[in-house]
Amino acid sequence: MTAEMHAEPGPTPAEHPIDVVPTDEATDETPAIEDFKDRFLDRELSWLRFNERVLELAEDDSLPLLERARFLAIFTSNLDEFFMVRVAGLKRRIATGLAVRAASGLMPRDVLERIWTTARELSERHAAVLRDDLVPSLAEEGIQLVRWADLEPDEQQQCKTLFRDRIFPVLTPLAVDPAHPFPYISGLSLNLAVVVRNPRTGKEHFARVKVPSNFDRFIPLGNARFVPLEDVISARLKRLFPGMEVVEAHTFRVTRNEDLEVEEDDAENLLAALEKELLRRKFGPPVRLEVEESITPAVLELLVSELDISSEEVFRLPGPLDLRGLHGIADLAREELKYPAFLPSTHARLAEVESAAPVDVFKAVRRRDVLLHHPYDSFSTSVQRFIEQAAADPHVLAIKQTLYRTSGDSPIIDALIDAAEAGKQVLVLVEIKARFDEQANIRWARKLEQSGCHVVYGLVGLKTHCKLALVVRDEPDGIRRYAHIGTGNYNPKTSRLYEDLGLLTTNPEICEDVAHLFNNLSGWSRNAQYNELLVAPDSVRSGLVELVDAEIEHHRAGLPARIRIKANSIVDEQLIDALYRASRAGVPVELLIRGICALRPGVPGLSDNITVRSILGRFLEHSRVFWFAGGGDPSAWIGSADMMHRNLDRRVEALVRLPGEESKRAVTELLDLAYDDDTQAWLLEPNGEWRRNEGTVHLQAALIERQRHGHRPVSSAPNRR
């Protein structure tokens, strides 16, 4: 799970009760939707509630122990990114005078203050889970996270030897005095604030020692015992300051603004501008200071002063800080303390039958569309094989693909390079502005260009977030196009951790739409009309609103009407108001939202017919599904777009209408299981708090079990030509 994922909410202030304008009894008028002044929950506070649900998984003693440790690490990474991007953005708007009231009715300063309060409470709870629960539980299983004082003499000697031979040569103590200014503290680095005393003069001096990030965060001592790296360094500080007395040492960590701002007026220089901005990212202003609770007032005052940070942004926590390193503990080879082993299977339509040779993907997709559900369906034997076979097939004339994020050793990249070197026309749209993957994508873009691929960066002012691949093949009956439209990135590694859907099809209308979209992205075409796709920023919002309004009309006509949506987030006010209209008209609306939800369900007179649930677990629920009863003729759409302003206004996104009754039935079955009352989930209350139900079925475990028994909740649909 990345910075995009992964507890019953604690005492978060901020979400005040909804302010309902009462009905005028004299005229018996129903208040307008706009009269519900507090109908939107705050997006930033909703995100904190999401990370609280991640923390609750770490607290859940019914989960395997090492998986709980991993959820603690995920919580840390999530909160880091939240401060680097969202909190940094709030501070920037306040500083530049661009602070405007949010849809929730809160001003940025109000949101910021509530973020500090809530994030501090969650961080303290997070540290307490490790100290009071995980560490004792791990010790019972023979895995010990210990501090320096707990080490045996032989273990201390082992650490001293490691320090002398490997750690000491890497360290650079930086003094602070009139001749040495306060050093720059890089974002998310772990540091030691050290006070030393000159024994001759009695004068004290401050120094900073950076804890190197290229060593294990928790040093293995043997026998499954681990000690934090900073403890080893702290115990040997005398080696760094010979002739001085070490008075005190405390760990601290700074989070900085790492959101990028790139001017895109000159598209030709976008690559250079982005590289320049990536260098500046390292020097963003601080937005959070984490310190070990043992820190003395004098040292803390110095850090706060030198970093120019406010007292509200200081988080005093029990050590150790930076629990991202718990991923290393979670990776220990103790399978009995992890989720049961799971191996994705090849989709039945793409599986080898008698021959040892891989199935011909083109032949399989010509027979019928293939709807994939990752990670239950293997990415490598479906999407990856599709691209690899296209690269090797002499009948393939062209390959077009979008790349938003991919893995460091991507076989997709290698296949595209092979195709270009074989003389095929290869167009790759690389989104070099994918947050925190910019540097890697710049590298891929240059490598692809050098191999002969046509590389473009999309449209000025928009991120290209859609997940599309198009293969053009010369066949005996003429040119045929094959398309893949997905909800997740072309990344073989995250495909094993992210839950996503994808459609492989030769449907002529869909392939024609995908071809037009690629032309829009690579050339001057501005065709915004599509038959089977909704494309942002032109038609995703308006298309979804039309589909919602159509359900209202179906309900009024006495026909079947229902709306089901599965997404990562819902923030867009227009779409939320459309769902409120549907609810007020009597249409049942069921939302499955993993992360941010700005919609208030269950408010009398506004959202009585809306329910919101959230499912978190082993895999990151990442697919986006939009399902409509359609008056008895259901339609289902999948794609890359969440219901957020950035997705609908500032990104190129694509949703595809699933062709064929079998595909729609498969998605319906998946949603039925997710929405079943007995399926474990968190339920959103009208006041913005989440309550965990007591269901006995876990969605992901149930889908794994179905896969093992050969039952496919997501199936294949016959091609309709």
Q: In the predicted model, is pLDDT for residue 160 greater than 70?
A: yes
Q: In the predicted model, is pLDDT for residue 716 greater than 60?
A: no
Which is nearest to 518 in space by CA: 461, 510, 473, 442?
510
Burial of 461 per CB tally in 10 Å (0-12, 13-18, 19+): exposed
Which is nearest to 629 in space by CA: 557, 574, 569?
557
Token pair 């709306």: residue: 563
Specify whether the CB–CB gap between 405 and 497 falls below 8 A: no
Res 100: pLDDT:
85
Token pair 């115990």: residue: 235
DSSP for 299-360 reads HHHHHHHHHT--GGGEEEEPSPP-GGGHHHHHTSS-GGGSSPP---B--GGGS-SSSSSPP-
Task: Count the Cβ atoms, other than its own, within 10 Å of residue 117.
Answer: 16
Token pair 């439209």: residue: 485
Percent of the chain with pLDDT over 90: 74
Q: In the predicted model, is pLDDT for residue 40 greater than 50?
A: yes
Q: Which residues pair with 655 in a beta bridge?
A: 534, 639
Q: How far apart are CA 102 and CA 99, in angstroms?
A: 9
Token pair 């089901």: residue: 564
**What number is the average pLDDT over the span 93-114?**
88
End-to-end CA distance of the chain: 38
Burial of 62 per CB tally in 10 Å (0-12, 13-18, 19+): exposed
Q: What is the pTM of this model?
A: 0.89
Res 17: pLDDT:
44
**What number is the average pLDDT over the span 250-272?**
66
Q: How far apart are CA 101 and CA 51, in angstroms?
A: 24
Contacts of 109 (CB under 8 A, 6+ apart): 94, 99
Token pair 């229902």: residue: 562
| Structural element, H or E, at residue 48 | helix 43-59
Res 264: pLDDT:
44
| Structural element, H or E, at residue 270 | helix 270-281
Q: Which residues pair with 126 in a beta bridge?
A: none
Specify whether the CB–CB gap between 248 and 194 falls below 8 A: yes
Sorting pLDDT into bands at 50, 70 and 90, what band is 25?
A: very low
DSSP for 111-126 reads HHHHHHHHHHHHHHHH
Burial 186-198 (b: 16+ CB within 10 A, else e): ebbebbbbbbbbe
Task: Count the Cβ atoms, other than its own, within 10 Å of residue 151.
Answer: 19
Tens-place pLDDT, residues 433-449: 655 556 666 777 777 87
Sorting pLDDT into bands at 50, 70 and 90, what band is 14?
A: very low
Contacts of 401 (CB under 8 A, 6+ apart): 387, 412, 416, 427, 428, 429, 468, 469, 470, 490
Question: Does the annotation count 465 as an active-site position?
Answer: yes
**What number is the average pLDDT over the span 192-215?**
94
Sorting pLDDT into bands at 50, 70 and 90, what band is 29?
A: low
Q: How far apart are CA 565 and CA 573, in angstroms?
A: 16
Q: In the predicted model, is pLDDT for residue 406 greater than 70?
A: no
CA atoms within 13 A of residue 286's CA, in its CB half-sphere: 24
Higher confidence at residue 39 or residue 461? 39
Report the C-alpha dihedral over residues 526, 532, 537, 541, rounded to 10 degrees: 150
Tens-place pLDDT, residues 492-511: 999 999 999 999 999 999 99
- Among 263-267, 268-272, 484-488, the range with the most confident prediction by mean pLDDT is 484-488
Task: Count the Cβ atoms, other than its own, within 10 Å of residue 144.
Answer: 16
Contacts of 417 (CB under 8 A, 6+ apart): 447, 448, 451, 453
From 126, 465, 554, 555, the catalytic residue: 465
Res 3: pLDDT:
39
| Structural element, H or E, at residue 172 | none
Q: How far apart are CA 376 and CA 706, in angstroms?
A: 10
Which is nearest to 435 in space by CA: 88, 45, 55, 53?
88
Sorting pLDDT into bands at 50, 70 and 90, what band is 279?
A: low
Res 543: pLDDT:
97
Amino acid at 100: V
To the nearest whole number, what is the mean pLDDT of the chain? 88
DSSP for residue 500: E
Specify whether the CB–CB gap between 391 and 424 falls below 8 A: yes
Sorting pLDDT into bands at 50, 70 and 90, what band is 243?
A: very high
Res 181: pLDDT:
85
The H helix count followed by the E strand count for the chain is 21, 28
Q: In Å, how far from its chain's centre is CA 517?
A: 26
**What number is the average pLDDT over the span 385-395?**
96
Q: How far apart are CA 313 and CA 88, in angstroms?
A: 12
Tens-place pLDDT, residues 317-374: 998 999 999 999 999 999 999 999 999 999 988 987 555 678 899 999 999 999 999 9
